[in-house]
Structures are given as C-alpha cells and as structure tokens.
Copies of this chain bind each other. A is one copy, B any other.
Amino acid sequence: MQKLTLKKIARELDVSISTVSKSLKDSPEISEDTKQKIKAFADLYNYRPNTIALSLKNRKTKTLGVIIPEIVHHFFTTVVSGIEKVANEKGYTVIIGLSNESFEKEVTNMEKLANGSIDGFILSVSRETQLKKDYHHLLETIDHGMPVVLFDRTIPEIECDKVVVDDTEGARNAVKKLLDAGCKNIALITTEAHVNVGELRTAGYKDALIESGKGFSEDLILKLKDEFNEEGMEDNLNTIIELFLRNNPQVDGIFAVNEKYALTAMKASRSLGKDIPRDIKVIGFTDGVLSKYATPSLTTVSQHGVQLGEKAAELLIRRLEEDDYEPPYQTVVVETRLIERESTSIT
C-alpha cells in the first residue's frame, strides 16, 4: 500500500485536488458535507501531506542543519539535545552533519544541506577550519541569505548570531578557586593557539593570576598539539604531562581546558606520587561525564551545553521567522558554573 496523496484521494472520491486540499484545511469555501466525507476518508487512510512537496512550495523546510565536529563527544551531544528540544517544540526537524574535525567534510556537508534541505545552520567549526582560517563556505551561505548561528567554537571575523560559553570568565573563576584553596603555582594545560576556546580559557587563566598579583609564567603553561586528541594517543598524552609535572615539581594546582587533559593530569600526578587534592588540586573545563565518576571526582567548570543548544536554536528560529531577516546580530553568552568536587577539596 503506497503513500496517500491528494491526487489519489481526489480520484477515489471523484472530486478535484483543490477540493480535497481545501477540505483538509477546513476551508469555509467547501460545504460541510464534502468536507466531512473527505476528512473521514483521509483520516481512515491516515493521510499526511508530503513534506518535500511542502518544502518546495513554501520554499522553506522547517528543518535546521546542525554541523558539529564530532558526535561521540559529550559536550556536543549535550548541545544537540538542547537544539533538538527547542526545534521540536517549534515544529522544526533537525539534520545533523558531522565534520569529524575536517575542513573538507565541513564544507561538503554544508553545501549539501544548503541546497534546499534546510532553512538555517547551527554550527561549531572544525579544528581544521580554525587552523586554515578559510571561512568562504560560511560567508557564502550567509551571503545567500541563509541564517547561520555559530556556537562554542566561533569566529570573530564572521558576522552572524553566536552563542558562546563565557570561557574567559569560567577559566578565571576556576583559577581563582585554586588560588583560594591555597595553590601557589598553578599550571595550565591547554591546546594550541588556533583553537579559539583554548585561547579564551588561557586568557582567563592569565587574568586571574595577574589580578591576584602573582602574575603568570609561560613555563607553567603546557600547550598540547592537536594530535594528542586523537584516538589511541592516551599513553603519549600521559607521558608528556607527566614529564611536564616532573620538570615543574612546584606545581600544586592544575587548570586544564578539557576533561581528557584534566583526568590525564590527575593520573600523571598520581604516578609521580602526588596525592590529589592534598598535593595538587585540579580543575577541568568540561561538562563531561567522566568527571563525576573519576577518583577523586573532578571539580569542573560546567558548560551548560543543553542551555547553549537551546539558545542557539531559539536564535536561529527567531531569525527564520522574523519577516525581515536583518542584522544586528547578537552574541549570547551562556554562563558557566564551577562544580566543586573532590579534586579541589581542602585537606
């Protein structure tokens, strides 16, 4: 039994297609009688209008395109679930594209979706895109009048709506917490400079230290190359962090820009015979699930991914439904919150 269409109903009931269409929309033009008959039939056979045809006709799809660098990643799934929630509430569908941190995949994915499949984008750029600084695909889609909302890993040069975490502020608070807990030599474990959020968090780290009057030392900042984020590099990551800590035995506090770095730092500290939190206190910037279950559990700067996703979807949908899609663009900042756990408790 194939899908029912207006045409088939019309043929079956021996009326015109427009009569069927109008009846199903309960148009006052049509007599109650015919409407009843048609509705009953449509109901019985469970008629549903074809979404694709509607999209073509209305020139809008009521679907949002979401492009993320990775899906096996707690933060991003968290954001997606926020997007999905708001989108569904407002009658939108969500299409997900993965860039897998590749510039090329990001571009092709966007191009594919941009050709009619979606009404607007929500995306977080891939690491490679940040590195190459090639944003033509973003500029072009915006130029074509398709709204784009960037989140988390955003790009200052691009004018569009954005939703970000208060990376700098969150990092500053984390470091302040370490200072308050009595740490004298706080190390930072971060990513290479081209990752936007890494930069911002680094700035927050420096800010807090400067404000405290101690200042910071580049020696205590460990910048890790992208390759350490890849699958199977765990041991190397561990080795390098351990070496860093061995060379800087004065370190008694660590702020890491993500969960993996934080946990690995805890592990490395332990293998150097340091107790956490007694000898070294640790805070990670993350929403991840590992933190809660770690031993000791890890104090984190929570990113509120769901909320971020919700905001992004709201922003995009508002753009789509505003009659005149025009700037000014806005940047919404989602606040972080320090979740204190065992790794910073005062002993």
List A residues 284-332 near B (Cβ within 8 Å): 289-290, 293-295
Q: Knowing A74-B72, A145-B2 are in contact, say whether A50-B96 is a contact too (CB < 8 A).
A: no
Chain B residues whose C-beta falls within 8 Å of the C-beta of A144 in the assembled complex: 1-3
* A188: B residues at CB distance < 8 A: none
Determine if A207 is an interface residue (Cβ-Cβ < 8 Å). Answer: no
User: Within 8 Å of chain B (Cβ to Cβ): is A280?
Assistant: no
Interface string of A88-112 (1 = CB under 8 A from B): 1000011111100000010000011
Number of copies: 2
Asked whether any CB of chain B lies closer than 8 Å to the CB of A347, the reply is: no
**CB-based nearest B residue for A144:** B3
Contacts A2-B144, A290-B290 given; does A113 touch B93 at CB 8 Å: yes
Contact of A51 among B3, B51, B116 (CB under 8 A): B116
Secondary structure of the A contact surface, majority rule: mixed
Q: Give min CB distance, A18 to chain B, whole Å.
A: 19
17 contacts between A and B (CB under 8 A): A1-B144, A1-B145, A3-B116, A48-B115, A51-B117, A52-B61, A63-B117, A71-B80, A72-B77, A72-B81, A77-B77, A88-B105, A94-B97, A95-B95, A96-B96, A290-B290, A295-B295
